[in-house]
Each structure stands twice: as structure tokens, then as C-alpha cells.
């Protein structure tokens, strides 16, 4: 299938964005996307991150695909099962088929080659082998049914891409330092810090949430952070600008990045945990490279996986502010007291991003902490409606 024809089908169905980790089977597509001004490709650092970025774009009304070698399907299983599947996000996956049974290939592809289709199906993806005759109809059906779908792409299916333009790269080293330095000791627990942040997070929200471009989109990481923020002021479902990620640990950053990329006019605030950020630390590099001015990363760093019992993470010796700057963020700093946090957060969302604010906190949470009562499907529909400025109608009410 000629790549220009394949790309035309994507465009005709509103897909102009993609994120991925490449496979040589997709070289024609990736090369085509670098020269076709109507298409946009983000190079992700892991296949799970690619899924998260494509999910963010799609949620914000810019349908997107995630592209990966079938080896990377293994890296993406959790974001597919805990995010695309449970929220029923209509993201298209393009998965190459290395190690196709009966065809000679490298040994590392032998097992995954045998299980690729069945693994995609087991992950809840509507799965097709990419067939030039059927692709358009199957893509159209997947998008109108609103389900996550995988197209398994065999060797030689996509052809005739252009050569990649030559790269003229400059490699940065020894940039700026974080705005704060020294040793930081926690004063607040996460819930107290979230409480202090609410005024900024809710800025621009009126009684009934409207899709004003000034209202920040707030993406909350997995675990107790989401539960606490929901309990603090969204039990009446009034905060349509919030998305609580119930699984897909580490994907809040990529998901928020997809949203920021889809709508540069909307501030995006990602509330992350140290464990989650460390799980997908490559997101810092993707964010720095994309340089979205509207992206603001806040890391609640308690040096622990607090949500699962407080087991330590290596974050006390991992300076996220320094790492963010090293990856291309425009501004980063660490704070640990309430006033400095509120001041810095308010300042960051007004700055040109990407910015990163590391707030040092204690472990610990209330014993009687509840859970967001919206079903995952409704949580997705509510947030997507907010981002697209459309009314939210519940798919089935609170769960
Ligand atoms: C892929 C994956 N691995 C592990 C878990 C279990 N889990 C849920 S929350 C969490 C801890 C997250 O730690 P951190 O991001 O530091 O946030 P904190 O709980 O400290 O607020 C873990 C390990 C998960 N949900 N998904």
C-alpha cells in the first residue's frame, strides 16, 4: 500500500497526529509524516508513553494513532489495558509484525511474533491485520464505534515513503540550574498541599464548568493523589477540568503532553508522583523536546510509593528539577513549604512552559479516603467534553 494513499485515508478520517517508537516496517510512514505538513509525529521514549500521548491528543479532539514494533506492544500492555480499554478511548494502534510465523526473522521476535494478534485481542483491542483493501472500512468502523483498535502491519505492507530529511543536530550540554537549590524537608502531607493548590487548579472555573481556554486542564496521577483531590472539592462532579487517572501509572505526564500539544491555548497542569514520574522518566525528554509552552508539571515528591504503603523510591537522590532542565524544560524549581508552593504554582502557570515544580511532601493519607465515584467512561467523557467545549452527557452516571 503506497504511503501517500495510506496517509490520505488517515487524513480523511481526521487522524493528523501520531506518536510512537519506530519499527523499520513503519519507516515509510514516519518519513512521510516528517515531510507532510498536514501530519504531525511525536517521537516517544517508550510505547506506553506513545499510547498516553495519543490518548491525550484524542481526548482533546485531535484523533491520533500510536505506532510501535510488536516488541513494544509488551511495553504498552498496561497503558492499553488500564487506560485505553477502561476509558474506552478511540485510539488507533499501528503495530508491526516482526517474527511472523513462517517467515525468517531475528530470535528475539520469535515468541512475540507468535502471540502478537492474540495479545492485542487479549488486551481488549479490536484487532485487524492491516489489509490495504479493508483498511479504510475497518478504520472508519473503529472510529465511529469509538473503540481502541490495533492494526497489525506485516512486512512490506506500507511502501514508497520518501527519504528522511537530513538531520542537522546541535546537542545541548551544561544549561541552566534550577531556580532553587539546597536541602528540602517536608512540612505538608500531599492532601494539605493539594488543598493549597486548589485556587490555581480551579482558576477560570465558574459555577458550571465551561470550556474557557483560560481554564487549566488538570491531569492527576494514579493513586491517592487523585482520590484526595477528588474528595477535596469534586464530590459534586463540578470540576470538569479534572482527569483522575485510575491506572496507567506513569502515563499522566504523556497524557497531559498530548492535550497540551493538541491545544496550545489551554494551560495543562499535570499533578504527578515521584514513583510515577520515575516509572516513565523518559517523558521529561519528550516534553523538553516538544517544548509545549502551556505544559506545567507538578511533582508531589514524598520519596515513596505512598499509595501502596510507603515503600521508598530513589527520588531523594534524583533531582527532578535539574533533570527537567537537562531535558529542555524552560523553568524548574523545588519547594517544600506551603507559601512557597502556592506562590511558585501561581507563577509557573503564567510562565512559558514547559515548567516543573517539585513539591517535597510527607507520606501519609487519611484512613477514610474515598475514591472518585464517576465511572471511567464518564470521567473520560466529562474531561473530553471540557477540553472540546461541548456539553457533557453521562454515559451511565456515577459508579
Ligand atoms: C504499572 C503499575 N505498577 C504499579 C501500580 C501500583 N501502584 C499504584 S499507585 C503506586 C504508587 C505511586 O507512587 P507515587 O507516584 O510516588 O505516588 P504516591 O503514591 O507516593 O502519591 C503504585 C506502585 C500500578 N497502579 N500500576
- Burial group, residue 199, by CB count within 10 angstroms (0-12, 13-18, 19+): exposed
Distance from residue 83's CA to the centre of ligand 1 (Å): 15
| Residues near ligand 1 (Cβ within 6 A) | 78, 190, 221-225, 247, 249, 273-276, 302, 304-308, 313
Among protein residues, the one with the nearest Cα to ligand 1's atom 12 is 305
Reported confidence tier of residue 214, pLDDT bands at 50, 70, 90: confident
Atom of ligand 1 nearest to the CA of 276: 15
Q: Which of 75, 78, 192, 222 to mutate to test the pocket of ligand 1 (most atoms within 8 A of CB)?
A: 222
- Would you say 116 and 127 are in contact if contact means Cβ atoms under 8 Å apart? no
pLDDT in tens, 156-202: 999 999 998 898 999 988 888 998 999 999 999 999 999 999 999 99
What is the predicted pLDDT for the residue at 393?
80
User: In this model, does residue 273 exceed pLDDT 90?
Assistant: yes
* Model confidence, pTM: 0.96
Separation of CA 276 and ligand 1 centre (Å): 6
Distance from residue 49's CA to the centre of ligand 1 (Å): 16
Tell me the average pLDDT of the chain.
94
Angle between helices 190-201 and 338-348 (to 10 degrees): 30
Average pLDDT over residues 320-326: 97
Instruction: Give the distance (Å) from ligand 1 centre to CA of residue 224.
Output: 9
Question: What string of H, E and C letters represents the secondary structure of the chain?
Answer: CEHHHHHHHHHHCCCCEEEECCCHHHHHHHHHHHHCCCCEEEECCCHHHHHHHHHHHHHCCCCEEEEECHHHHHHCHHHHHHHHHHHCCCCEEEEECCCCCCCCCCHHHHHHHHHHHHHHHHCCCEEEECCCCCHHHHHHHHHHHCCCEEEEECCCCCECCCCCCCCCCCCCCCCCCCCCCCCCCCCCEHHHHHHHHHHHHCCCCCCCCCCCCCCCEEEECCCHHHHHHHHHHCCCCCCCCEEECCCCCCCHHHHHHHHHHHCCCCCEEEEEEHHHHHHCCHHHHHHHHHCCCCEEEEEEECCEEHHHCCEECCHHHCCHHHHHHHCCCCEEEEECCHHHHHHHHHHHCCCCCCEEEEEECECCCCCCCCCCCECHHHHHHHHHHHHHCCCCCCCCCEC
**Atom of ligand 1 lying closest to residue 310 CA:** 20
Q: Which domains does the chain have, with CATH numbers?
A: 3-153 (3.40.50.970), 190-386 (3.40.50.970)
**pLDDT at position 396, please?**
64
Q: How far apart are CA 357 and CA 161, in angstroms?
A: 42
Q: How confident is the model at residue 148 (pLDDT cuts 50, 70, 90)?
A: very high
Would you place residue 207 in the very low, low, confident or very high pLDDT band (cuts 50, 70, 90)?
Answer: very low
Site to substitute for ligand 1 among 224, 226, 305, most atoms within 8 A of C-beta: 305
pLDDT at 302: 98
Does residue 306 have a pLDDT over 80?
Answer: yes
Amino acid at each position: 500500500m503506497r504511503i501517500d494513499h495510506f496517509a490520505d485515508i488517515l487524513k480523511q478520517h481526521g487522524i493528523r497526529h501520531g506518536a510512537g517508537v519506530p519499527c523499520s516496517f513503519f519507516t515509510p510512514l514516519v518519513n512521510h509524516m516528517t515531510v507532510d505538513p498536514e501530519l504531525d509525529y511525536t517521537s516517544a521514549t517508550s510505547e506506553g508513553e506513545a499510547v498516553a500521548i495519543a490518548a491525550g491528543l484524542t481526548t482533546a479532539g485531535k484523533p491520533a494513532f500510536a505506532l510501535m514494533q510488536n516488541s513494544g506492544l509488551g511495553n504498552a500492555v498496561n497503558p492499553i489495558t488500564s487506560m485505553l480499554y477502561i476509558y474506552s478511548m478511540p485510539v488507533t494502534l499501528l503495530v508491526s509484525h516482526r517474527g511472523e510465523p513462517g517467515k525468517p526473522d531475528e530470535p528475539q521476535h520469535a515468541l512475540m511474533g507468535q502471540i502478537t494478534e492474540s495479545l492485542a485481542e487479549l488486551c481488549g483491542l479490536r484487532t485487524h491485520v492491516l489489509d490495504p483493501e479493508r483498511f479504510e472500512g475497518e478504520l472508519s468502523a473503529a472510529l465511529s464505534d469509538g473503540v481502541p483498535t490495533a492494526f497489525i502491519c506485516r512486512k512490506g505492507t506500507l511502501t514508497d515513503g520518501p527519504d528522511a530529511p537530513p538531520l542537522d543536530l546541535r546537542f545541548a550540554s551544561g544549561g541552566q540550574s534550577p531556580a532553587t537549590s539546597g536541602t528540602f524537608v517536608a512540612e505538608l502531607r500531599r492532601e494539605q498541599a493539594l488543598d493549597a493548590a486548589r485556587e490555581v487548579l480551579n482558576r477560570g472555573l465558574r459555577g458550571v464548568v465551561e470550556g474557557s481556554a483560560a481554564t487549566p486542564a488538570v491531569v492527576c496521577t494514579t493513586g491517592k493523589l487523585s482520590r484526595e483531590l477528588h474528595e477535596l472539592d469534586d464530590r459534586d462532579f463540578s470540576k470538569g477540568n479534572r482527569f483522575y487517572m485510575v491506572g496507567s501509572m506513569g502515563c499522566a505526564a504523556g497524557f497531559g503532553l498530548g492535550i497540551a500539544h493538541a491545544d496550545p491555548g489551554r494551560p495543562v497542569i499535570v499533578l504527578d508522583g515521584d514513583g510515577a514520574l520515575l516509572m516513565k522518566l523518559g517523558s521529561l525528554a519528550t516534553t523538553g523536546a516538544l517544548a509545549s509552552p502551556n505544559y506545567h508539571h507538578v511533582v508531589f515528591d514524598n520519596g515513596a510509593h505512598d499509595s501502596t504503603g510507603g515503600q521508598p523510591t530513589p527520588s531523594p537522590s534524583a533531582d527532578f528539577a535539574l533533570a527537567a532542565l537537562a531535558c529542555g524544560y524552560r523553568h524548574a524549581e523545588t519547594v517544600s513549604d506551603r507559601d512557597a508552593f502556592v506562590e511558585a504554582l501561581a507563577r509557573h502557570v503564567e510562565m512559558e512552559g514547559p515548567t516543573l515544580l517539585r513539591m517535597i511532601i510527607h507520606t501519609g493519607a487519611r484512613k477514610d479516603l474515598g475514591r472518585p465515584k464517576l465511572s471511567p467512561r464518564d470521567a473520560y467523557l466529562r474531561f473530553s467534553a471540557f477540553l472540546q467545549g461541548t456539553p457533557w452527557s453521562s454515559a451511565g452516571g456515577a459508579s
